[in-house]
Amino acid sequence: MSPRPLVGPRLRRVLALVPYVLAHPGVAIDDLAERFEVSTAELERDLELLPLCGLPPYTADRLIDVWIVDGSVEIRLAEYFDRPLRLTPAEGLALLAAGRALLSVPGSDPTGPLATALDTLEGALGTRGRLAVDVGASGHLEQLRDAAAESARIEIDYYSFSRDEMTTRVVDPWRVFHAFGAWYLAAWCHRASAERLFRVDRVRTVRPTGEHFDPVGRSGTEPAGRSGTEPAGRSGTEPADLVYRPRPDDLRVTLRLAPGAVWVVESYPHESAEQLPDGSWRVVLAVSEVAWLERLLLSLGPDVDVEGPPDATRIAREAALRILERYR
């Protein structure tokens, strides 16, 4: 045992499991351990503590009575704990947000047990209609999820935003998931002969090929040495991988941003950022795709000065002139 274990989590558990046992007398100790995510040994330690607890003056009739017979538990003389503690705002929000998010995924049952449980909770918290969580239906989401579930090889038309180009590719869809406000498809891309992540909202069309792939055949692509704390997807693709990781030969640009454009610093991974005495920012960004930099510089307009390299300055100017061609 560590020298100072936290008392909070254990107290939280005790205050939750006593009401549960009171409502379910004779519950099996193993079931109880599973429900409250502890080992049986730890649960037994919790239960051993209870007979020392109760109300002053701690005479036999005032102490909590715990009976463990043949692996089932009963608790008496703890009427004051007969209902659990209210949810904290953070707990209520977490439960409702997770439930509402799942319910917003296409294919969820809008009248099933999840929906009724959330309605009951929101009624009790007085927050009906006050929390809206939408992870967003995306055009081909269900089709892609079905394909992943069936290990069906598909052909997709995909728009690459950073390169501003449309491509057609055959992919083996492994997994569809939502992170950072968007849906992603993790797949083996036959065109790239590599694992790729696709934004679901940029998939224009999905065509079945009629072929299937071996869902376990790709296990070799899982990165070695991944720690057990992450639920290692078969594909090894985790939301954290979505963050752009600069390569050594990517272009580095140094930008001077007006104070109002600080969102660039907040939104994009950068190599360095410093605020200057006049409130403006100097930020160094790594850029892998020209179209991405074009859009950034064009939409920032007067809020950005490119300090270098000259290449970046040229990119912005040429992009502006190219678009202006249309307006002549």
Partner 1 sequence: MADRLERLVNLTATLLDTRRPLTLDELAERVEPRYPEDLAARRRQFERDKETLRELGVPISVHAVDGFGPEQGYRIDPAAYYLPDLSLSEAELAALHLAVTAVRLEGGAGREALAKLGGLAGEGVDEALAQVTVSPLVAVLFDAVSRRCPITFTYRSEPRRLEPYGVVLRWGHWYVVGHDLDRDAPRAFRIDRLDGDPDVGRPGSFEPPSDVDAARFVRDDPLAYGEDRPVEARVVVDASRAGWVVEQLGDASVVDRRPDGAVEFELAVVNRAAFRSWVIELLDHAEVVGPADLRAEVVAWLGAVAHKGAM
Residues 110-139 close enough to bind partner 1 by CB under 8 A? 112-114, 116-117, 120-121, 124-127, 129-136, 139
Q: Tell me how far, at minimum, the Cβ of 68 lies from partner 1, in Å.
A: 18
Report the residue number, 113 or 225, with the smaller CB distance to partner 1: 113
**Number of other CB atoms surrounding residue 14 within 10 Å:** 16
d(Cα 137, Cα 141) in Å, to the nearest integer? 7
Binding mask 251-270 for partner 1 (x = CB under 8 A): --------------------
Among 26, 106, 301, 308, binds partner 1 (CB under 8 A): 301
Which two tokens mark 162? 């950073």
Which residue, 115 or 190, is less far from partner 1 as judged by CB?
115
247 binding partner 1? (CB under 8 A) = no
Output the DSSP codes for 134-151: -----TTHHHHHHHHHTT
The CA distance from 271 to 247, in Å, is: 12
199 binds partner 1 (CB under 8 A): no
Which residues ranging from 134 to 193 are in contact with partner 1 (CB under 8 A)?
A: 134-136, 139, 159, 164, 166, 175-182
Q: Is 308 in the site for partner 1 (CB under 8 A)?
A: no
CA–CA separation, 39 vs 54, rounded Å? 25
Is residue 207 within the footprint of partner 1 (CB under 8 A)?
no
Q: Which residues pair with 67 in a beta bridge?
A: 74
* Peptide bond just before 57 cis, omega within 30 deg: yes
Q: Which residue has the tokens 């409702």?
A: 96
Which of 42, 142, 233, 250 touches partner 1 by CB under 8 A? 233
Least separation in angstroms between CB 170 and partner 1:
21
273 binds partner 1 (CB under 8 A): no
Nearer to partner 1, 155 or 190 (CB): 155
Which residue from 20, 244, 275, 289 is in contact with partner 1, where contact means CB under 8 A? 20
- Long-range contacts at 95-104 (CB < 8 A, ≥ 24 apart): 95/121, 96/121, 96/122, 96/125, 96/127, 96/131, 96/133, 97/131, 97/133, 100/131, 100/132, 100/133, 101/133, 101/135, 101/178, 104/133, 104/134, 104/135, 104/136, 104/137
Of the listed pieces 65-73, 217-225, 245-253, 296-304, which binds partner 1 according to CB under 8 A? 296-304
| Cα–Cα dist 63/321, whole Å | 83
Stretch that binds partner 1, among 6-14, 67-75, 192-200, 279-287 (CB under 8 A): 6-14
- In the bound state with partner 1, the residue whose beta carbon lies nearer, of 118 and 285, is 118
User: Cα–Cα distance between 129 and 198 in angstroms, integer?
Assistant: 33
The reply to whether 246 sits near partner 1 by the rule CB under 8 A is no
Closer by beta carbon to partner 1, 12 or else 245: 12
Window 31 to 90, contacts with partner 1 (CB under 8 A) = 32, 34-37, 49-50, 52-58, 78, 80-81, 83-90
Please give the biggest Cα pair distance in the chain. 94
User: CB of 248: closest distance to partner 1 in angstroms?
Assistant: 27
